[in-house]
Structure 1
């Protein structure tokens, strides 16, 4: 069971074009942390539209959703440090049409090509909700870097809360940008 550190209620239903940015600090010797977009406002939701879990100890990104208190579709992606290139061919293939080359996403100048270690204590993630799914970006002062694209099985209009769990020391910022 997850250890919920932070819960925020969404001020309105999520629509395509909306963004949620979360910044924080992971604990010393963190092994994992997760961000859940839950369809309820409680510590142990029965339904989660999207679970974004970074297993730092095993160098793995785990994505999933939950219905009727049952996890449904675990997707694992291996990583060491994130440099804008995926190690998982399935994810590469699913978004390859958005890339001009290995480091640049078409129609945007907000990606950066250098490596960024996931083991640094500070993190900033942006979740961009679009018609074709949820795009997750690692944010730095240099720009944004695409981490993953997830196509939820549950409509993200049902999300009621954002939950930050596991080895997170604190959430330093939460920003809602509505279209």
Structure 2
């Protein structure tokens, strides 16, 4: 994507809410990232949760950004083989965001959990950056 995909969150995220995101990556994809952002700027100073996949290294990098400064990152193995698409569910529970790889309608595998340093109500938009060809689905599931 030359420009980020930006979706305004229709109502505040609360404890127990989930966001499902499905998309197709480019054939020569190197990386893509999904950001839960405070505000709607395409160049945010504050990112409550940053999830970045680097295909060449088979890793996921997670962190947050406050006042333009990146916080401590966590690096984990990306548990997906090569393929054209992704389906991820982000669940907001207990002050953490849990990220699941969605296999099908009934099967989800936990990839990671990351402690949030932001109040859920501060998150205003979801942004997708990088080597994503298109977003196929974005679903907000409110508890």
TM-score (norm 2): 0.93
- Give the drift of 1:48: 0.4
Aligned to 2:102: 139
* Counterpart position of 2:46: 47
Q: How does 1:54-69 map to 2 (within 5 A)?
A: 54-69=53-68
Q: Deviations over 1:69-101 (max 9, x none)?
A: 11111111234xx2xxxxxxxxxxxxxxxxxxx
In structure 2, the residue matched to 1:111 is none
Please state if 1:126 is matched with 2:89.
yes
What is the distance in 2 between the residues matched to 1:149 and 1:59? Answer: 18
Asked if residue 171 in structure 1 is aligned to residue 132 in structure 2, the reply is no
Query: Structure 2 stretches of 5 or more lacking a match?
Result: none
Tell me if structure 1 keeps the 8 A contact 2:97–2:114: yes
Map 1:38-117 to 2 at 5 A.
38-79=37-78, 82=79, 116-117=80-81
Kindly name which structure, 1 or 2, has the bigger radius of gyration based on alpha carbons.
1
> Counterpart in 1 of 2:118?
154
- Whose strand fraction is larger, Structure 1's or Structure 2's? 2
Structure 2 residue matching 1:157: 3-state secondary structure: helix
- Name stretches of at least 5 consecutive residues in structure 1 with no aligned partner: 83-115
Partner of residue 23, structure 2: 24
Structure 1 ranges of 4+ moved more than 4 A: none
Cα offset, 1:4, TM superposition: 4.1
Q: Deviations over 1:124-158 (max 9, x none)?
A: 10001112411100002261111101111112220
Task: State the shift of 1:16 in Å.
Answer: 0.6
Q: CA RMSD in A?
A: 1.5
C-alpha separation in 2, matches of 1:36 and 1:151: 14
Do the aligned residues in 2 keep the contact of 1:63 with 1:74 (CA within 8 Å)? yes
How many residues were matched structurally?
142
| TM-score, length basis structure 1 | 0.75
Tell me the residue number matched to 2:4: 5
Question: What CA deviation, in whole Å up to 9, does each residue of 1:14-48 have, x standing for no partner?
Answer: 11110000000011110111100000101101100
